[in-house]
Amino acid sequence: MFTINNLLDIMVLVIFMNMQEKLTILADSAKYDASCSSSGSALKRHGDIGNTAYSGICHSFASDGRCISLLKILMTNCCIFDCKYCLNRKSNNIKRALFTPEEICEITINFYRRNYIEGLFLSSGIIKSPDYTMNLMIETISLLRHKYKFGGYIHAKAIPGASTYLLNKLGNLVDRLSANIELPTENGLKLLAPNKDTNKITKIMEYIKENKSQTFVPAGQSTQMIIGATKETDYEIMKRSSEMYHNYSLKRVFYSAYIPVNKDNLLPSLNLPPLKRENRLYQADWLMRFYHFKVNDLLNADNPNFNLLLDPKADWALRHLEEFPKEINTCSYNDLLKIPGIGVTSAKRIISSRKYFKISFNDLQKMGIVLKRAKYFIVCDGKYFVNNLCFNRSFIESNLVLEDNLLTSLKGEQLSLF
């Protein structure tokens, strides 16, 4: 077994491994973190090189269709923890590597100057102790900010169990600081990540929330949950994330379909990651944050999982057909948002346009509003898109499911939300 507990071993690694190999190991270990956003930072730093773009910028898209905006790497994949689901757990016999602070700075600056990336996403396995690891990360990022005068985006992962004064130090250097909750329930965490505990993670979130300012973690915090490694229902997951949005003012909760990298009796064996489920959770997450939906509107104890055939909004609408069809020309903004297929942009467009003219189906099309799903749930000036008699659950449901499946089979693959 190849584990690393003393610094001497690590020094040997630093000297004998070339950059290509190190980057391969440390990017490979970091790739399971879903977050890659570079948006939300309005802070103007006085650096020599780089700035942040409030809207965020995607620089490339990986073969899995996910956006690449940050250089996402671990400082080291050596770890004293033994979390069951993690590739870098102590008991795995894998190659280990460590970047020195200078190496990380050099790569970041060289990539940034060539416009490959928006900035750095630095996470790390835990070496020696949480404080020791955090200190190394702070040294790295401080070097990047002060010596290399880097003004671009930095997202750092806080190490659970590190001292508060280190959190404070790191938070003042980065745009986003985050801690992963990893599993939706405490029991799940106890089972699969015996060295982590929920309290240590929520303590970090609490601290970031209390201290957030224009210079401390200006782009806010996010977190991530692994989906499908433990037995939680979608209802439990959504309740947990709604709670976290509320308690810690999170910018985002990321859901990451569980991908088996280790064999363990405690872990489920899956052939394919539950991508469709992940997709549904993201859709529901959006409904909560931008469409005024509550978890209990979408799911409940009797109906604890999302319908994989229909998106959560269409599913909700079909269960509440008594509220439909809605009249485009008179219904309120909030009601518009409840219509499947109508998003925030479309709703705003309808509200501002209908002051000036009466909207017909034809106008909706001209206004660039996608009617594929919406047409089943609306009337324009009293008119339904086909015979009024068709407005019933079985007609709409079969059409929606059919269209979706047709689309999927045409495209061959499902879309992901990244």
Closest distance to other proteins from the beta carbon of 24 (Å) = 5
Closest distance to other proteins from the beta carbon of 66 (Å) = 8
Which residues face 121 on adjacent strands? 72, 155
Which residues face 83 on adjacent strands? none
Give Cα separations from 147 to 106, 133, 151, 322 (angstroms).
Answer: 11, 21, 11, 63
In the bound state with other proteins, the residue whose beta carbon lies nearer, of 59 and 200, is 59
* H or E element in which residue 378 lies: strand 378-379
Closest distance to other proteins from the beta carbon of 378 (Å) = 17
Closest distance to other proteins from the beta carbon of 1 (Å) = 25
In the bound state with other proteins, the residue whose beta carbon lies nearer, of 51 and 172, is 51
- Return the sign of the alpha-carbon dihedral for residues 405, 408, 409, 413: negative
Closest distance to other proteins from the beta carbon of 176 (Å) = 18
Closest distance to other proteins from the beta carbon of 255 (Å) = 13
Contacts of residue 258, defined as CB under 8 A and 6 or more positions apart, other chains included, come to 85, 226, 227, 228, 229, 268, 270, 273, 274
In the bound state with other proteins, the residue whose beta carbon lies nearer, of 8 and 356, is 356
Rounded Cα distance, 392 and 395, in Å: 6
Closest distance to other proteins from the beta carbon of 259 (Å) = 5
Rounded Cα distance, 343 and 369, in Å: 9
Rounded Cα distance, 39 and 62, in Å: 19
Rounded Cα distance, 37 and 35, in Å: 6
In the bound state with other proteins, the residue whose beta carbon lies nearer, of 22 and 212, is 22
The DSSP secondary-structure symbol of 383 reads: B
φ and ψ at residue 153, rounded to 5 degrees = -80, 135
Closest distance to other proteins from the beta carbon of 277 (Å) = 13
246 burial class (0-12, 13-18, 19+ CB within 10 angstroms)?
A: exposed
Tokens read off for 418: 């990244």
In the bound state with other proteins, the residue whose beta carbon lies nearer, of 59 and 319, is 59
Q: Quick one: residue 381, left, alpha or beta (phi over 0 = left, psi -120 to 50 = alpha)?
A: left
In the bound state with other proteins, the residue whose beta carbon lies nearer, of 320 and 366, is 366
Q: Is the peptide bond before 274 cis (omega within 30 degrees of 0)?
A: no
Closest distance to other proteins from the beta carbon of 72 (Å) = 6
- If you write DSSP's letter for every residue of 294-338 in order, what string do you get? -HHHH-BTTB-S--SSS-HHHHHHHHTGGG-SEETTTS-HHHHHT
Closest distance to other proteins from the beta carbon of 261 (Å) = 9
In the bound state with other proteins, the residue whose beta carbon lies nearer, of 31 and 200, is 31
- If you write DSSP's letter for every residue of 184-224 in order, what string do you get? SSHHHHHHH-TT--HHHHHHHHHHHHHH--SSSSTT--EEE
Residues that bind other proteins (CB under 8 A): 19-20, 23-24, 27-28, 30-32, 48-51, 53, 55, 57-69, 71-72, 107, 110-111, 113-116, 118, 257, 259, 272-273, 275, 349, 352-353, 355-357, 359, 363, 366-368, 411-416, 418
In the bound state with other proteins, the residue whose beta carbon lies nearer, of 106 and 297, is 106
In the bound state with other proteins, the residue whose beta carbon lies nearer, of 258 and 291, is 258
In the bound state with other proteins, the residue whose beta carbon lies nearer, of 115 and 269, is 115
